[in-house]
Amino acid sequence: MSETFKKLVANKYTKDFRDAGEVIEVPLEQPGARQILMRNHFGGVNASDVNISGGVYFSDGSFPFDLGCESIGEVVAVGEDVTEFSIGDSIVSPWLGSAYTEMLCRSVDEGEFVKVPKCTPAYMGAAVAGLTASIGLKEAGEMGTGETILITGAAGGVGNWCVQIAKLAGNHVIGTCSSEEKAKELKRLGCDRVIIYTKENLGEVLSSEYPDGINLIFEQIGTDTFDACVDNLATRGRLLICGFVSEYMGDPQEVLAPRIYHKLLWKSAQLRAFLYKDWPDKVSSHIKDLVQLVDSGKIDPLVDNTLFKGVDSCIDAVEYLHSGKNIGKVVVTY
């Protein structure tokens, strides 16, 4: 085993990921008591990587700090008193700092490592993308069955899990995306109506084809998309704010408009926001359920096929996601 390994760290807070990130080479330490050493096979790229590098959340002011959110790999060494994992196990790490490093040494008591059948990006997606979709729809969104559900950013890392989870629960699923190529994938995954917002106006399609409104909206984009969603909620509809990726790279857009209660009260509609980390008691059971759904073939996570190889490619991978070109989860291969 090599004596050193590479990882990507941030030395300052900035949303310019290229400016924040530095690849460093550090000595490999053997795991201590209750620790395991993991060799990453894949790292997951997330829209919010730029919020983390920007110190928007998860920030405690200490530098340097490890970037990235989730990874999958194999256990290559275990410390004393570790009984839960053995060398050769495939595991998912949903830890902050997991994604953009070749090796990871952590205590098994500090958080959730999840054993999976093999090291594939599909299983890794369960840790953050799938978890976000599942906690969002089921816990924060109180998804039912037979509802009309709209997923914005449907062909992305989180979005494609949402489509499949909402469909499995017996709902009518509408997905938005920017291209025909993405739309084709969304139809394959079970979307009943795909709205290519570069060709059709989202608000107009919703109001003409769904005059009773949408029961549950899983919103990831923000700005005009968010506005169209608010306008098309059903009576007792829920608009779930998962993110607002269109505003991550710039300053918040300032708008002058009547306060939002003018739009919500008359239809008893609700605005909800969620971060999956605020349901810590639910994380483990949701990930285990998602892994089983992948295992049984009921969910086929969409993985983008652009190859990013090694720690040196992580910044390119984050910038690629923010170009909006990705179809499914963006991954880095180690």
Ligand X SMILES: NC(=O)c1ccc[n+]([C@@H]2O[C@H](COP(=O)([O-])OP(=O)(O)OC[C@H]3O[C@@H](n4cnc5c(N)ncnc54)[C@H](OP(=O)(O)O)[C@@H]3O)[C@@H](O)[C@H]2O)c1
Residue whose CB is less far from ligand X, 10 or 303 = 303
Is 217 one of the binding residues for ligand X (CB under 6 A)?
no
Q: Judging by beta carbons within 10 Å of its beta carbon (0-12, 13-18, 19+), is residue 18 exposed, middle or buried?
A: exposed
Minimum gap (Å) between residue 306 Cβ and ligand X: 12
Residue whose CB is less far from ligand X, 6 or 329 = 329
- Exactly one of 171, 326, 332, 334 binds ligand X (CB under 6 A); that residue is 326
Is 276 one of the binding residues for ligand X (CB under 6 A)?
yes
Minimum gap (Å) between residue 154 Cβ and ligand X: 7
> Which string of b and e fits 104-136 if b means at least 16 CB within 10 Å?
bbbebeeebbbebeebbbbbbbbbbbbbbbbbb
Residue whose CB is less far from ligand X, 109 or 254 = 254
Minimum gap (Å) between residue 75 Cβ and ligand X: 26
Is 141 one of the binding residues for ligand X (CB under 6 A)?
no
Q: Given the rule CB under 6 A, which of 3-11, 26-34, 141-149, 174-182 is the region that contacts ligand X?
A: 174-182
Is 286 one of the binding residues for ligand X (CB under 6 A)?
no
Is 158 one of the binding residues for ligand X (CB under 6 A)?
yes
Under a CB-based contact definition with an 8 Å cutoff, are residues 53 and 20 in contact? yes
- Exactly one of 166, 242, 293, 303 binds ligand X (CB under 6 A); that residue is 242
Spell out the SS3 assignment of the chain. CCCEEEEEEECCCCCCHHHHEEEEEEECCCCCCCEEEEEEEEEECCCCHHHHHCCCCCCCCCCCEECCCEEEEEEEEECCCCCCCCCCCEEEECCCCCCCECEEEEECCCCCCEEECCCCHHHHHHHHHHHHHHHHHHHHCCCCCCCEEEECCCCEHHHHHHHHHHHHCCCEEEEEECCHHHHHHHHHCCCCEEEECCCCCHHHHHHHHCCCCEEEEEECCCHHHHHHHHHCEEEEEEEEECCCHHHCCCCCCCCCCCCCHHHHHHHCCEEEECCHHHCHHHHHHHHHHHHHHHHCCCCCCCECCCCCECHHHHHHHHHHHHCCCCCEECEEEC
Is 322 one of the binding residues for ligand X (CB under 6 A)?
yes
Minimum gap (Å) between residue 281 Cβ and ligand X: 15
Is 324 one of the binding residues for ligand X (CB under 6 A)?
yes
- Site size toward ligand X (CB under 6 A) is 28
- Exactly one of 8, 9, 47, 77 binds ligand X (CB under 6 A); that residue is 47
Q: Given the rule CB under 6 A, which of 141-149, 167-175, 237-245, 285-293 is the region that contacts ligand X?
A: 237-245
Q: Given the rule CB under 6 A, which of 59-67, 117-125, 209-217, 317-325 is the region that contacts ligand X?
A: 317-325
- Exactly one of 245, 269, 293, 317 binds ligand X (CB under 6 A); that residue is 245
Minimum gap (Å) between residue 219 Cβ and ligand X: 9
Is 121 one of the binding residues for ligand X (CB under 6 A)?
no
Nearest one of 12, 1, 73, 88 to 38, comparing CA atoms: 73
Residue whose CB is less far from ligand X, 48 or 71 = 48
Q: Given the rule CB under 6 A, which of 31-39, 77-85, 226-234, 241-249 is the region that contacts ligand X?
A: 241-249
Pairwise CA distance, residues 174 & 236, whole Å: 18
Is 321 one of the binding residues for ligand X (CB under 6 A)?
yes
* Residues found near ligand X in the complex (CB under 6 A): 46-48, 128-129, 132, 153, 155-159, 177-178, 182, 220-221, 242-243, 245-246, 274-276, 321-322, 324, 326
